[in-house]
Amino acid sequence: MIDAVTGVMIIGLTAAVVLTALGLSRTYRERAETDRAAAVAFSYLMATVPKTPGSVSGDVSGFRYEAEVSEEGVRDFRFCRVDLKLKHLRLRKTYRLSGLKPCQDQVL
């Protein structure tokens, strides 16, 4: 009888550990998919955001974005600093990215 109870307890503990691991792996997979989607959205927005100073906002790929473009001088060149903020519409997770790109009338 003790052997049977011990066996059931071992099987129960093993099942609990496996189910917990499966739940965590699902959570990590969803987080990785969201992070990848944010990286793709950032790449797209850096290529398409206007190259003139100002603010732009909208929706892209399940994210709401806000882009603030400001002008900066670096030596003899003028660059536009793009500050992007993405907020996932469903998960409410926020991502931020900042980068430089040539302004509209600047030719390199």
Domains of the chain: 2-102 (3.30.1300)
Higher pLDDT, 103 or 34: 34
Give the pairing type, strands 94-102 and 54-60. Answer: unpaired
Distance, in Å, from the CA atom of 44 to the CA atom of 73, rounded to the nearest integer, reads 25
pTM comes to 0.71
Alpha helix locations (H) across the chain?
A: 2-48
**pLDDT band at 106; cut points 50, 70, 90:** low
Phi then psi dihedrals of residue 58, to 5 deg: 170, -165
pLDDT digits (tens, 9 = 90+) for 69-83: 998 887 777 888 999
Task: Decide if 65 contacts 45 (C-beta within 8 A).
Answer: yes
